[in-house]
Amino acid sequence: MSVAAALKRARPGLDIALIEPSQELYYQAGWTLVGGGSMTQAQTVKPRRQFIPAGVEWLQHGVTEFNPDQNQLLLDNGDSVQYEYLVVAMGIQLDWSKVDGLTETLGKNGVTSNYRFDLAPYTWECLQNFTGGRALFTQPPMPIKCAGAPQKILYLAADYWRKKGVTSDLHFFNQGGAMFGLPFFAKALDGIMKGYNATPHFGHNLVAVDGPGKTATFELADGETVTEAFDMLHVTPPQSAPDVIKQSPLADADGWLEVDRNTLQHTRYANVFGLGDCTSTPNAKTAAAARAQFPVVSANLLSVMDTRDQPGSYDGYGGCPLTVERGKVMLAEFRYDGEVVPSFNADPRVPRRSYWVLKEKIFPFVYWYGMLRGRDWKYPVPKLRPAVTTDLE
């Protein structure tokens, strides 16, 4: 949507088609706030038609096959589409079925997930109905979209229950080995966990859920399993590249759309570009990353059409507003190679109320009326700031 709008603004005469089956657009970054009771479900969805640029043809179908050697796509209605240039932004696939018993119990038995639009309100219902007991929160193997989301809801739940005087036994089960991929932020988050008296369990991967029996089973690194009881369970599902990309010539060995990490041009098909969660770029899969990527793709695609050098370069920027309590956010920003690049002249590990305003009010506005309109609003502007030292104690 962003690339199509940016291209139409730059060159109104371009023949552009948007291939997308969904009638709705979602502000997925808001679903954590829906689950935490700070935003309504209705605030995170709008009709897609409202945002499609004038002159862009909308093909309301899904893609079932890529044939890049013939510059052709196949659609789920059997039609084929020829293209001269292709931009792929298919997101990441949520593999709910890889956890035994999960799909059968989602939305009931106290089992929920903010990774689904229809379930985020149930998360808030679970928080409100919780009268005490054991609450588990899970994080699967990377990569996943918004790697901070699995713990954000833990903090919002802990803060809500503390203020309500509800006694909770909080546990975070993470397949990884730390609270965050960057030690700079992980140490600070260790402190947040301790403040809530929450227990982290690293090297634990959720493999099965028994909703009626209120148990969750985790696989350890050595292949052994442990089963944990719960009164509430928030699940972050396993995730992977979309199957249609995995099965196509566009994929790398791991199934992701294979693009150059800076130009976002496909490494083998010069007329193909990619952005967002479906690509092979080694950055965090966040909305902030997509916001930083779409101007690069737009500029570089136009330069390829004009046989000019590509001017755009993506530096791996990503951002994660970590909601550590209702009203306070730790704003983690970073780029390739783990460099911390804060947009503000302040320690990014310190949660601030001003960042909550960004998370709750400013970022949604930028998404709906900046990014989706193809406007390259220069906020945040990480390239104007050098990386900060991360050896601070």
Q: Architecture of 2-21+61-92+241-315 per CATH?
A: 3-Layer(bba) Sandwich (3.50)
pLDDT attached to residue 354? 95
Percent of the chain beyond pLDDT 70?
96
Tens of pLDDT, residues 91-106: 999 999 999 999 999 9
Overall pTM surpassing 0.75 (yes/no): yes
Tell me which of 146, 206, 251, 296 is the catalytic residue. Answer: 146
| Per-residue model confidence as pLDDT tens digits over 228-275 | 999 999 999 999 999 999 999 999 999 999 999 999 999 999 999 999
Q: Identify the pLDDT of residue 381.
A: 34
Question: Is 278 labeled as catalytic in the residue annotation?
Answer: no
SS3 content of the chain, % helix, strand, coil (to 5): 30, 25, 45
Find the mean pLDDT for residues 141-154: 96
* Predicted local confidence at residue 384, as pLDDT: 38
Q: How many CB atoms lie within 10 A of CB 130?
A: 19
| 385 pLDDT above the threshold of 50 | no
**Is 126 noted as a catalytic residue in this protein?**
no
Residue 8 pLDDT: 95
Assess contact for 135 and 167: CB atoms under 8 A. no
Query: What percentage of the chain carries pLDDT values higher than 90?
Result: 94
Asked whether this chain's domains 2-21+61-92+241-315 and 94-239 adopt the same fold, the reply is: yes
State the catalytic residue, choosing from 189, 209, 301, 320.
Answer: 320
Query: Which residues contact residue 323 at a Cβ distance below 8 angstroms, ignoring those fewer than 6 apart?
Result: 32, 33, 36, 152, 155, 156, 329, 356, 359
Q: What is the mean pLDDT of residues 75-87?
A: 98
Q: Where are the domains of the chain?
A: 2-21+61-92+241-315, 94-239
Q: Are 73 and 67 in contact (CB under 8 A)?
A: yes
What phi and psi, each to the nearest 5 degrees, are found at residue 122? -65, -30
Q: pLDDT tens for residues 319-369? A: 999 999 999 999 999 999 999 999 999 999 999 999 999 999 999 999 999
Measured distance CA(130)–CA(124) in Å, rounded: 10
- Strand, helix or coil at 320? strand
For the domain with range 94-239, which CATH number is right: 3.50.50.60, 3.40.30.10, 3.30.450.40, 3.20.20.70?
A: 3.50.50.60
Q: Distance of CA 153 to CAs 127, 272, 327, 362, Å?
A: 10, 37, 13, 20
